Amino acid sequence: MNFQYYDLLMDKSKNRLQYLAENIVPKFSISELEFFLDDMKNTAKKKKQTKSNYDLKDIGEDYDTSADISKLTEAELKQLYQVFISRELNDVFAVKWRFYQYFKYIRDIFIETIKINITKDGVDFLIKRDNGENIIVICTDVLDVKKFNLKIEEIQKFVKKDKIIPNLIIFAANKSYRDIPIEEPLIIDNKEIKIQLWLELADENRPFTGEDLLIMENTDLKLAGFNFTSLQDLLDYIYEFSEGGQISIIRQIDFFSENLKQELETELIWKGIIIKNDIS
C-alpha cells in the first residue's frame, strides 16, 4: 500500500507523525525549519501580497545544525506529513519546499548562497552559484501560459529594481501545460536568459514504495522511501552523501506501514558502483 492522505490515516497521533517526520531527508537545519514554519503561517493567513519589493533572506547557512522537531505541534507535524510524505498538498507552498529540499542535494550545481522569500509573492528563491551566476526560481502549482506571462512581468520588475540580472530562470511547478514557451529566452538589457521548467513527476515504475525503508549496504545511509519520487533521485542523494564505491540498495518492505509484520521482507533493488568525480 502507499501512504494515505492524512484524512484516511488510521493513526494520527503526534508520536506517529513525529516518527515519520524524523525520516524526512535531507534533514532540516534549525533556520530552515523556522523559515518553513513562518512560511506556513503566512500562507495560512494569506498575508502574501503581489509587490515589487521582496524580502529575500539567506537560508541554509547553518547546514551543520539539525532542527529539533520534537517540539512541533500536531498541526505543524501534519503539514510536514502532507507536504513531504503523502505529498497530498500540491499548492505553491508545497511545491516551493519540495523544490528546496530537492535542490539542496542536486549534485551538478555548486551553490554559494540561497535566498528565500516568505513574505511576498513573486520571486521565491534567488540562488547564487560559486561562479557568480544568479538563478531566479518561481514556484507555482499548475503553470499555464497566462500565469507564465504574469510571472515573467514580475521577474522583469524585480530585475529592474534590484539590478540583478539572472543567468537562468527556473519555473518549479506541480503540473504544466504543454504550450509554455520555455524555448524562447527572456531578453533583458540585450542579454539572453535561459528558462527551465522543473516538474514534480513521480516515477510510477520505481522499485520501492513510500513505506519502504531503503538500506544502502557499505554506507551508513538508511533512507525512507517517501523522500524520493524516483530511483534517479535516490541515486543522486546516495552520490552526494556517500563515499561511493560498490553499493547495494536493500528494500525493507512496508517498514513504515500501519500494519507492520513481525518479520519484514527484504529485497535487493539495485546494485552497482558509484564513482565520485572530483575533477573540477
Q: Is 127 helix (H, G, I), strand (E, B) or coil?
A: strand
Q: What is the pLDDT of residues 224-260, one digit of tens each?
A: 999 998 898 999 999 988 999 999 999 999 898 865 5
Q: List beta partners, residue 195.
A: 169
Which residues are CB-neighbours of 1 under 8 A, at least 6 positions away? 209, 211, 254, 257
Bigger pLDDT: 171 or 220?
171
- Nearest one of 76, 85, 69, 80 to 212, comparing CA atoms: 85
The rounded distance, in Å, linking the Cα atoms of 245 and 276 is 8
Q: What is the pLDDT of residues 111-158, one digit of tens each?
A: 899 999 988 778 999 999 999 999 999 999 999 999 999 999 999 999
- Quote the mean pLDDT of the chain: 90
The DSSP element (H or E) to which 191 belongs, if any, is strand 191-199
Cα angle 35-39-44, degrees, rounded to a multiple of 5: 150
User: Mean pLDDT throughout 166-170?
Assistant: 96
Q: What is the pLDDT of residues 22-59, one digit of tens each?
A: 999 999 999 999 999 999 998 888 755 545 456 899 99
pLDDT of residue 20: 95
Q: Where are the beta strands (DSSP E) in 37-77?
A: 56-59
pLDDT of residue 169: 97
User: Mean pLDDT throughout 68-74?
Assistant: 96
The rounded distance, in Å, linking the Cα atoms of 85 and 228 is 9
266-274/125-129 β-pairing: unpaired
Q: Domain boundaries in the chain? A: 6-199, 213-274
Model-level pTM? 0.91
Q: Is 114 helix (H, G, I), strand (E, B) or coil?
A: strand
For residues 34-48, one letter each, b for 16 or more C-beta atoms within 10 angstroms of the residue's C-beta and e for the rest, the string is: ebbbebbeebeeeeb
pLDDT of residue 54: 65
Neighbouring CB atoms inside 10 A of 90's CB total 17
Reported confidence tier of residue 280, pLDDT bands at 50, 70, 90: very low
Sheet holding 213-217, edge to edge: 222-224, 213-217, 245-252, 266-274
Does position 163 have pLDDT exceeding 80, yes or no? Answer: yes
Does position 84 have pLDDT exceeding 50, yes or no? Answer: yes
Work out the percent of the chain whose per-residue pLDDT is above 70.
92
Does position 189 have pLDDT exceeding 90, yes or no? Answer: no
248: amino acid identity, one letter: S
pLDDT of residue 106: 75
Alpha carbon of residue 248 to chain centroid: 25
Does position 279 have pLDDT exceeding 50, yes or no? Answer: no
> ω before 207 within 30° of 0 (cis)?
no
Reported confidence tier of residue 262, pLDDT bands at 50, 70, 90: low
